[in-house]
Amino acid sequence: MTHDVDLVAVGGGLAGLTAARRALELGLNALVLEAAAEEKHLSASRVNGGVYHVGFRSVTTDPEELAQVIVRITDGFATPPLARALATNAARAVEWLQAQGADFTAMQPDEGWKDRVLAPLGFHEQTTMRWEGFGADRLLGLLEAGIVRQGGAILRGMRMTELIMENDACRGVVAAGPSGVTSIRARAVVLADGGFHGNHDMLRRFVTPHPEVLKLRGTPSGKGDGIRLAELAGAKLVGMEAFYGHVMSADSLHNDNLCPFPFLEFLAAAGVMVNSRAERFLDEGKGGHFVSNAMARYEDGVVNVVFDEAMWQGAGRYFFCPPNPNLVRAGGTLHQADDLGTLARLAGLPEAALRRTVAAHNAAIQNGTLDKLTPPRSGAKHRPEPFAAPPYYATPACAAITHTMGGLAIDAGARVLRGDGTPIPRLYAAGSNCGGIEGGPEVGYIGGLIKAVVFGLIAAETSAAR
């Protein structure tokens, strides 16, 4: 069987559906290939919190400021053209979703970035993964219905297996499904299959030697097919080592009640994170994205977060579905003791070393010498707190990957680039497949949803203009 279309979007998540829906609006014909067969297939785009932001700023922020924020958060890793493309289209992308029927509301307190959240809310209220009927689930239904209404098609159970390359240009894709193999010739191919967090071989190649102790916080739908096939066709890959991550209970590796919440990074940022020798090994003050990436590459990836009662009552109650009281309620391990020696024994840590680590932490806070600690501890983003009074706590933690941040190098028109910086004709990328926008040495997180919609829109618009 063969098809001939203007645009094929590979992946029925937010990026692919946006690209196809926008192409249809612009008068092109379009179809979506989705590897999963079920109508409510699981992807990051269905199981998320629906918070549309740009680097923890409202999408309505002045675009010039947003572009600077993106470059700053990524420590200069995001190139100015890509930062500008995302920043100048962010508010428009949300308005476009509203025009598709999406309903946005604010979460209180909005803290300057939760003012455009897909309704109905509810995703952030439990430790377990529940998504049915919440805003993100509803949005996918709206986009799919719009595509079908306007004459497009969604081919489910069809997994792209090849890119059709002729004279160095992409001319379509080959997909395999229950009814066999299909060739789809297309004037534009948009790779939107969601990154590679569901592919252990690629994670091992780019991210960590031990992906088995990296908790997958989302769905395994991102298999890296688009990135892998485009690389074979000459595409350049950028920032492949970074992922959007959090620090979660190590029990989440075998207890699904502890995923996607709570996060342990705020407790780590108040107290200390230690290895099996009760030594600090990273800068806890850099926050969850940086810390989870560093943990993923460290020894066997499983560590302990240690804190005291004041931190448990403060940082422990911060953010969505916080650890206090949800960690224990959901079955997570929390060691508690009235002295550090007993705590060390309960957590399987060397007593003297834990006392030394806590004493050094307290002394550095008191003397203002956090930068002299080994490793140095920053305080600008998250202020460390002294261990003041018992009880003391320790909880085993692991790194959790929500999705990969690296991927295909693109230009501001979402065109996939070769190593020499020239575009591969007719090949585009959007969403978690795109590299060069998030990550970098400080693992700057910009926002997966806004990246998916903006580059989905841009891919369709660039291809329509051509």
Taking CB under 6 A as the criterion, the residue among 199, 357, 402, 463 binding ligand FAD is 402
Amino acid at 435: G
Which of 14/233 has CB closer to ligand FAD?
14
CB atoms near residue 190 (< 10 Å): 36
How far apart CA 292 and CA 286 sit, in angstroms, is: 10
Taking CB under 6 A as the criterion, the residue among 45, 61, 74, 395 binding ligand FAD is 45
The 6-25 site mask, x for binding ligand FAD (CB under 6 A), equals: ----xxxxxxx---------
Question: Does 431 help bind ligand FAD (rule: CB under 6 A)?
Answer: yes
How far apart CA 216 and CA 246 sit, in angstroms, is: 10
Which of 30/394 has CB closer to ligand FAD?
30
Q: What is the DSSP string of 367-404?
A: HT-GGGSSS----SSS------SSPEEEEEEEEEEEEE
Q: Quote the least distance from Cβ 95 to ligand FAD, whole Å.
A: 17
Q: Quote the least distance from Cβ 49 to ligand FAD, whole Å.
A: 3
Q: Quote the least distance from Cβ 45 to ligand FAD, whole Å.
A: 3
How far apart CA 266 and CA 381 sit, in angstroms, is: 11
Taking CB under 6 A as the criterion, the residue among 7, 20, 22, 50 binding ligand FAD is 50
Question: Does 49 help bind ligand FAD (rule: CB under 6 A)?
Answer: yes
How far apart CA 410 and CA 454 sit, in angstroms, is: 13
Cα dihedral across residues 112, 116, 119, 125: positive or negative: negative
Q: At what angle do helices 14-25 and 135-149 cross, to 10 degrees?
A: 30
Taking CB under 6 A as the criterion, the residue among 3, 21, 22, 41 binding ligand FAD is 41
Per CB under 6 A, which of residues 199..228 are in contact with ligand FAD?
217-218, 221-223, 225
- Are 412 and 431 spatial neighbours (Cβ–Cβ below 8 Å)? no
Question: Does 458 help bind ligand FAD (rule: CB under 6 A)?
Answer: no
Amino acid at 76: G
Q: What are the phi and psi torsion angles at 345 (to 5°)? A: -60, -45
- Are 208 and 297 spatial neighbours (Cβ–Cβ below 8 Å)? yes
Q: What are the phi and psi torsion angles at 384 (to 5°)? A: -75, 155
Q: Quote the least distance from Cβ 173 to ligand FAD, whole Å.
A: 8
- Are 14 and 222 spatial neighbours (Cβ–Cβ below 8 Å)? no
Residues 6+ apart with CB under 8 A from 55: 66, 69, 70, 73, 444, 445, 446, 447
Question: Does 260 help bind ligand FAD (rule: CB under 6 A)?
Answer: yes
Q: Quote the least distance from Cβ 131 to ligand FAD, whole Å.
A: 8
Question: Does 239 help bind ligand FAD (rule: CB under 6 A)?
Answer: no
Which of 25/34 has CB closer to ligand FAD?
34
Q: Quote the least distance from Cβ 4 to ligand FAD, whole Å.
A: 19
Amino acid at 239: G
Which of 146/447 has CB closer to ligand FAD?
447
Taking CB under 6 A as the criterion, the residue among 137, 193, 265, 438 binding ligand FAD is 193
Binding site for ligand FAD (CB under 6 A): 10-16, 33-36, 41, 43-45, 47-51, 159-160, 192-194, 217-218, 221-223, 225, 260, 402-403, 431-432, 447-450, 452
